């Protein structure tokens, strides 16, 4: 990955390149954690590696800052693993193929992992520096953030002395984030019955949708591939005879599905294929303005005997997909333009005797999140489904009196001549966890411009990353 470096950011992109070479999907943390520990030892820094695989690295303050209050720099080590459906790629062993394209760093056919690898790289650059002035640093690299902030929740906060915390997991450089949504994972399990049937399989693939982050992109009108499949199959049932063998879409609860596939069984494959195309034609006219690249691929496969849903199970599944809550359910009455409450059906998968539907629930108000969980519980129970709620984390509430906000605003104004935009976001940040763990904590979240995170189109602005790192260094200098 060849990028035009300057002295201040050469280390940042060097570390990011190394991080991209290490498999680090959520739940696969060992290698990236070992890398962080080796980095600390190589640089002669004290390090803690806990049972949850979190890594905390300590660096003393530079000359003149030795006795200053420590500052916590924090980012997460895991990434969301998404790939193009046709790509032969194993996230357990293959490195991310990152490459520069103009002002952006992109990845070949996969998510890039700049969320949150660029944060880890920036923090490492500070830790490895010899000439950047800063107070004592407590660098906290957490694990499994993308699947419920597991590492942050399990971290023993008594190992931290600092009260000022700079989280580097935001995705817009001109925004200072001061509040975020809380959330939870909702697992719905719908029992199904199957029967044996003979016929010809028709594979229906829905592809080319934008997808996106289930928090920051939930209000952008993007089509959920799993729900689109449900709609298409419901309409198809009015004009064609078919059974469902399987229906699968999405791979991450916190990503809007961009791909879904249905294995169907019928007696007249050519008629079914044509009926699929006719049904989709009307839908495509409706959604083209939002999803211009959406496409379907109906293809005739082998004939034989298959296990298919019974009619009642098929009807129940399509009913669930046609009626499930999804998307924005409430806007903030206090902050203009802020999504307050939402949910995303991120995973739809068919098993031997059940269909699993996994949702990411979010709200910037704890009471609204509780109500959404209750609403989904009623939805599941009424439809004879089992459910489980996990991964709960509270919202990070706005703190009016904040020294870190002041310091960042000063540094931003000195660089750009105007104040940064102060905002709350409808996404989860580990600040919410640390604000509860650390008494009297003062947290902010910053980060460079990133686009289409949690999708295969994820990209990081190189110039923005350089500027964000420069601002981080200015804030640290002001924390003396």
Catalytically active residues are 78, 145
CA distance 3 to 103: 9
Phi and psi of 399, rounded to 5°?
-115, 115
* CB count in 10 Å sphere of residue 325: 14
Q: Phi-psi region for residue 291, left (φ > 0), alpha (ψ -120 to 50) or beta?
A: beta
Q: What residues have CB less than 8 Å from 160, skipping those under 6 apart?
A: 56, 70, 72, 138, 140, 438
Q: Which residue, 251, 221, 247, 216, is CA-closest to 234?
A: 247
CA distance 233 to 385: 21
CA distance 83 to 69: 43
362: tokens are 């979010």
Q: How far is CA 222 from CA 288, 290, 459, in A?
A: 11, 7, 18
CA distance 355 to 248: 9
**Cross-strand partners of 276:** none
- Give the chain's length: 480
CA distance 104 to 458: 10
Q: Which residue, 253, 162, 171, 243, is CA-closest to 204?
A: 243
């Amino acid at each position: 990955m060849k990028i035009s470096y300057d002295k201040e950011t050469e280390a940042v992109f060097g570390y990011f390149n190394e991080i991209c070479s290490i498999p680090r999907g959520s739940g696969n943390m060992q290698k990236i954690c070992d890398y962080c520990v080796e980095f600390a030892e190589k640089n002669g820094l004290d390090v803690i590696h806990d049972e949850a695989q979190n890594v905390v690295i300590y660096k003393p303050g530079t000359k003149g800052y030795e006795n200053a209050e420590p500052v916590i720099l924090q980012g997460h080590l895991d990434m969301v693993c998404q790939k193009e459906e046709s790509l032969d790629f194993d996230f357990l062993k293959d490195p991310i193929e990152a490459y520069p394209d103009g002002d952006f760093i992109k990845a070949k056919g996969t998510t890039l992992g700049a969320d949150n690898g660029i944060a880890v790289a920036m923090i490492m650059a500070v830790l490895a520096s010899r000439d950047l002035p800063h107070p004592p640093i407590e660098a906290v690299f957490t694990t499994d953030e993308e699947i419920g902030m597991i590492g942050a929740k399990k971290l023993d906060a008594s190992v931290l002395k600092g009260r000022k915390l700079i989280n580097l997991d935001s995705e817009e450089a001109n925004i200072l984030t001061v509040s975020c949504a809380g959330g939870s994972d909702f697992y719905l399990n719908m029992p199904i019955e199957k029967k044996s049937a003979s016929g010809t399989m028709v594979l229906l693939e829905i592809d080319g949708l934008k997808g996106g982050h289930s928090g920051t992109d939930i209000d952008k009108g993007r089509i959920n591939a799993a729900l689109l499949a449900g709609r298409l199959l419901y309409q198809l049932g009015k004009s064609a005879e078919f059974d469902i063998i399987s229906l699968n879409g999405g791979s991450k609860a916190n990503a809007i599905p961009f791909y879904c596939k249905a294995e169907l069984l019928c007696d007249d494959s050519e008629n079914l294929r044509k009926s699929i195309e006719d049904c989709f034609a009307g839908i495509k006219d409706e959604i083209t303005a939002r999803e211009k690249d959406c496409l379907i691929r109906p293809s005739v496969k082998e004939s034989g005997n298959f296990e298919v849903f019974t009619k009642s199970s098929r009807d129940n599944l399509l009913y669930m997909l046609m009626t499930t809550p999804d998307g924005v359910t409430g806007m903030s009455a206090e902050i203009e333009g802020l999504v307050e409450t939402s949910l995303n059906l991120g995973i739809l998968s068919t098993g031997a005797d059940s269909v699993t539907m996994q949702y990411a629930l979010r709200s910037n108000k704890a009471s609204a999140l509780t109500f959404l969980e209750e609403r989904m519980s009623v939805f599941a129970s009424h439809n004879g489904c089992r459910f489980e709620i996990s991964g709960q984390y509270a919202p990070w509430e706005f703190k009016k009196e904040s020294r870190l906000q002041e310091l960042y605003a000063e540094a931003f104004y000195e660089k750009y001549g105007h104040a940064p935009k102060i905002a709350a976001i409808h996404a989860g940040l580990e600040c919410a966890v640390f604000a509860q763990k650390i008494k009297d904590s003062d947290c902010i979240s910053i980060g460079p411009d990133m686009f289409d995170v949690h999708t295969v189109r994820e990209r990081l602005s190189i110039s923005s990353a350089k500027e964000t790192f420069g601002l981080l260094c200015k804030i640290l200098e002001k924390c003396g």
